[in-house]
Amino acid sequence: MCNIPECCKPVEAITPQAGGVIIGAYVSLRDAEKCFVLVHVNQANAATMGITIEQATDVTGTGSKAITYAVPIWADQDCAATDALVRQNDAVAFTTSATLKRKLIIFQIDPSHMDVNNGFDCITVKTAASDVSNITAAQYILSDLRYGGSTPPSDIID
């Protein structure tokens, strides 16, 4: 049996905040086989929100650029009515619907598909400008960690 602290590592990406362009914390994926990016949106204004993943060469965001490979994405665009995650088309970005709902969007990142030849092993999640009444939060779930145990290496420090 796997429990989160031993087989996965949650890392805060975006603290809950309102509208605007939001850039999440950068996290290193050097110790993970996969990373799931969970984006929570409480949409109080009928405006869509674009969400992208960028890659960088370190956790300060050096050389940050959009990922270029399509990744698996799931979405629940009405969390109050259902907990079903609907598989979306693989893509490099996702745009929410404009409906006034609570939403959960999940991106699955495979670090081996990043620009590893040029040293890209970190990611961030970004949201495009949105209305200030829309609240967004996000977290990374690093899975299949190379170094298990109760104190794995930090992934927010290079």
**Domains of the chain and any CATH numbers:** 15-143 (2.60.120)
Q: Can you give the pTM of this predicted structure?
A: 0.91
Scan for tokens 């609907």, then name that residue.
86
Decide: residue 21, CB within 10 A, 0-12 exposed, 13-18 middle, 19+ buried: exposed
Quick check: 38 and 50 in contact, CB under 8 A? no
Tens-place pLDDT, residues 42-93: 999 998 999 999 999 999 999 999 999 999 999 999 999 999 999 999 999 9
Maximum Cα interatomic distance, the chain, rounded to a whole number of Å: 44
Gap between the Cα atoms of 88 and 37, Å rounded: 15
